[in-house]
Amino acid sequence: MASGSLVLAAAVAGGTLIGTGPASANVNTAYAYSPAAAEERCGYLGYGKYRHCDGGTGSTIMLDVEDIWGNIGRYCVGPGVTNLQPTFEWRVIGAWWNGGVGCWPGRVRGFAAIR
């Protein structure tokens, strides 16, 4: 029994802890992804959804939206969560604010080589 404790102490002191089973679970479980956490953040949420957090002003913003092929399209969104995917032919993999404000919500321009 004493030799087992000595091995564990040596492993911890050396910076390595070898474990098996439930006791060796990821210590970062408090930071694990949860659907509720994704829905509360602002910006691109994944799966073609974008949340515009406007602080209650009712503002609209213009987004650059990227498809799976790297093409960029523009889309105007209002406050809340907008599903961008139905408006674009190919799978949406990203969206970000391009600096535009005060637009009418809805698709503005199709994909183009904006890069």
CB within 8 A of 2, min separation 6: which ones? none
pLDDT tens, 4-27? 444 444 444 444 444 444 444 444
Any idea where the domains of the chain sit in the sequence?
A: 35-112
8 Cβ neighbours under 8 A, 6+ residues apart: none
| Model pLDDT, residue 40 | 78
Per-residue pLDDT of the chain (115 residues; tens, 9 = 90+): 455 444 444 444 444 444 444 444 444 434 344 454 555 799 999 999 999 999 989 999 999 999 999 999 999 999 999 999 998 999 999 999 999 998 989 867 655 444 3
Q: Is the pTM of this model over 0.85?
A: no
Are 27 and 33 spatial neighbours (Cβ–Cβ below 8 Å)? no
